[in-house]
Structure 1
Amino acid sequence: MSRNIRVFGIQQTCSSDKAVSLETTRSWIEKAAKQNADLIVLQELHATDYFCQTQEPNKFDLAEPIDGPTAQFLSAQAKQANAVIVGSIFERRAAGIYHNTALVFDRDGSLAGFYRKMHIPDDPGFYEKYYFTPGDMDGFKPIQTSIGKLGVMVCWDQWYPEGARIMALKGAEMLIYPTAIGWDSDDTSDEQTRQKDAWIGVQRGHSIANNLPVIAINRVGHEADPSNQSSGIDFWGHSFITGQQGEFLALADHQDACLVEATINLNKTEQTRRIWPYFRDRRIDAYNGLQSRYLD
């Protein structure tokens, strides 16, 4: 028995001007809607350039409340497209508390739920701890929509199997990772390939280990470092969608803005778990160490 949904990811370039970025997003949503999209996934922080390359206090002015202009735009787009949309905002929760937040809007434009990024990186060119407060401790909760339960996480979360597993144990029917990740252009081509392959590989592992589809949508294009202290970031694209055994259903290239689309049969999870019963054989009595920082 099939329960098919048409999934589209939008791999796009972004501008420091929100109006420009959102107009680009709108045009891609329109194209997906014309192809009968049920679910449209946008990349991380799609309304602006990736401002986390530097630490600048004035960048906090980009933040919006959870019902702010970008949310209202996404709500209207979901209703017009008659599709569930997973979008992203730089959220101002309160004075001094800001989050990297994914928003999920149902087909009627209503806010089905939101997720605040739990794992926050702090690396050269990715100074997110300066801007973002981690999500609350109970953050790994699937979001119920008209097309199913969505296990939405954000970017750096994708490297952690624990988040994916908790989402799966709570009934998520797919794992979704809006992303902004790229290369340092000073890295060798071999190192760039290793990094990109690791990014794809770890998420395919979550798909296989949980028998769930994965939708990972990354931005694309070069974004300069405003401080001129580095050569900027080349976002590596390669947005992809897998089926329940980690098989590629769609895979984009590293340089082109595009739609990434696939038809996913959500009922295949039941069939796959009958053959690969990882959940049956989990040794839940032996995993206590997972809540420790390190085991000496």
Structure 2
Amino acid sequence: MSHFSIAGLQLELSNQDNFSFIEQEITRVKNVFPWVDMIVLSELSTFGTSTTLAQPMPGPAEQRYCEIAAKNNLWLIPGSLFERADDQVYNTTPVINPQGEVVTRYRKMFPFYPYEKGVSAGDDFVVFDVPAVGRFGVSICYDQWFPEISRSLACMGAEVIICPTLTGTIDRELELSIARTNAVVSQSYFFNINVAGRLGNGRSIVVGPDGQVLHQAGTSSEIMPIEIDLNHVRRVRERGGLGLGQTLKSFRDSQLQFPAYQQDARQSAALQSLGPLKKFGEDAS
């Protein structure tokens, strides 16, 4: 089976406990679109942006999502939640299968510093297999600004990249172009699902492996059920985007050693001259 249906839920949410509303929306989507195989929510959609509501994983919020997935017989990627692990807090996305089992978790590699204070960075790339369909990868919001992540997921076999997002700022327009770029350079489907309402400005986007925009949402609540074809990914990777650039093959066959990825590259004079990572106008201390 190469066809698979994913519904992105761009919901109007507040910076509070949105769990009951989200559960109702998941149930409603499955009733209206019973052919949907997976539902994807936006980043931090459940409890908002406060780390004080962080929970361990496994934990009560994740378990409740497992029950929702099993009840509705679908794959569920509930955006992300703040995960408390010992003395650390991570921005974490659980991946839950239709049996209500957590098959993997992804911790955001690039928290939005200096704004996402008190959140530690993850260091593991995550892919998972949907049996008889294909391989999926996960990133979260600001991760998409670093093409190394999408390229790494593609090299691990990901044919679909799921990227829950929370953006309410003027740079959403830039993220739309970044989403298309990530899809093209990784030759994969790219689902970038944003929140609407008080937390975000919507404009979720779904892009195919050839850069075609399959859907771009408006700024209010919107349900985006989209059927994808994994054989299309495989054909694009074989023949090239629009029958032209065979990006992953060229990357595979290149003998280049990129200076930016050498061990001491981050200590270069050019990067060190940029100064500290801080909010503009605030004291570096």
**Aligned partner of residue 109 in structure 2, secondary structure:** coil
Any conservation in 1 of the 2:39–2:75 contact (CA below 8 Å)? yes
For 1:117, which of 102, 108, 115 is the aligned residue?
108
- After superposition, the C-alpha distances for 1:137-161 in whole angstroms (9 at most, x for unaligned) are xx11312233532210111101110
Superposed counterparts of 1:6-25, under 5 Å: 6-18=5-17, 21-25=18-22
Superposed counterparts of 1:87-166, under 5 Å: 87=78, 88-94=80-86, 96-123=87-114, 127-128=115-116, 130-136=117-123, 139-146=124-131, 147-166=133-152
Task: Give me the whole-angstrom Cα distance separating, in 2, the residues matched to 1:271 and 1:294.
Answer: 41
Q: Which runs of 5+ in 1 are unaligned?
A: 52-58, 184-191, 224-234
Residue 294 of structure 1, CA deviation:
6.5
> Could you tell me which residue of structure 1 aligns to residue 67 of structure 2?
76
Report the TM-score when normalising by structure 1. Answer: 0.82
Q: Which runs of 5+ in 2 are unaligned?
A: 241-245, 271-285
> Could you tell me which residue of structure 2 aligns to residue 279 of structure 1?
248
Q: Percent identity?
A: 27
**Which AA in structure 2 matches 1:25?**
I
Residue 31 of structure 1, CA deviation:
2.4
Residue 132 of structure 1, CA deviation:
0.9
> Could you tell me which residue of structure 2 aligns to residue 243 of structure 1?
208
Residue 267 of structure 1, CA deviation:
1.1
Task: Give me the whole-angstrom Cα distance separating, in 2, the residues matched to 1:92 and 1:269.
Answer: 36
Give yes or no for the alignment of 1:32 onto 2:29: yes
Give yes or no for the alignment of 1:200 onto 2:176: yes
Task: Give me the whole-angstrom Cα distance separating, in 2, the residues matched to 1:281 and 1:239.
Answer: 30
- After superposition, the C-alpha distances for 1:34-76 in whole angstroms (9 at most, x for unaligned) are 212111111111112333xxxxxxx43x110111111011101
Any conservation in 2 of the 1:116–1:134 contact (CA below 8 Å)? yes
**Aligned partner of residue 12 in structure 2, secondary structure:** coil
Q: Number of aligned pairs?
A: 256
Task: Give me the whole-angstrom Cα distance separating, in 1, the residues matched to 2:95 and 2:260.
Answer: 30
> Could you tell me which residue of structure 2 aligns to residue 177 of structure 1?
163
**Which AA in structure 2 matches 1:31?**
R
Any conservation in 2 of the 1:112–1:145 contact (CA below 8 Å)? no
**Aligned partner of residue 129 in structure 2, secondary structure:** strand
- After superposition, the C-alpha distances for 1:191-213 in whole angstroms (9 at most, x for unaligned) are x3xx2221011111110112100
- After superposition, the C-alpha distances for 1:79-113 in whole angstroms (9 at most, x for unaligned) are 1121111122110011x211000000001100110
